[in-house]
Amino acid sequence: FETVRLRKDGTPVAVEITLSPILDGIGQIVGVSNISRDVTARAEADAAREALLAREQAARAHAEAAAAT
């Protein structure tokens, strides 16, 4: 799953967290392995793409409205 965590200096960082069980010899869960990946660049790219799409849709609507008059 993805979430936002805080660095030691207090700045937010977008991370993807993967949790995996650690099993003993008979299959019982004895712990959890945690891997956190910084996905800030991907989150920023997604936000930029969404903003670009919104501007494109607004421009298209404006152009279609102008053409209709």
Over the stretch 22-51, which tens digit does the pLDDT of each residue have? 999 999 999 999 999 999 888 889 999 999
Mean pLDDT of the chain, nearest integer: 93
Q: How far apart are CA 28 and CA 34, in angstroms?
A: 18
Sorting pLDDT into bands at 50, 70 and 90, what band is 69?
A: confident
Sorting pLDDT into bands at 50, 70 and 90, what band is 59?
A: very high
- Least Cα distance to 6 among 31, 36, 45, 33 occurs for 36
32 torsion bin: left (phi>0), alpha (psi -120 to 50), beta (else):
beta
Over residues 8-15, mean pLDDT? 94
Q: How many CA atoms lie within 13 A of 48 on its CB side?
A: 6
State percent of the chain over pLDDT 90.
87
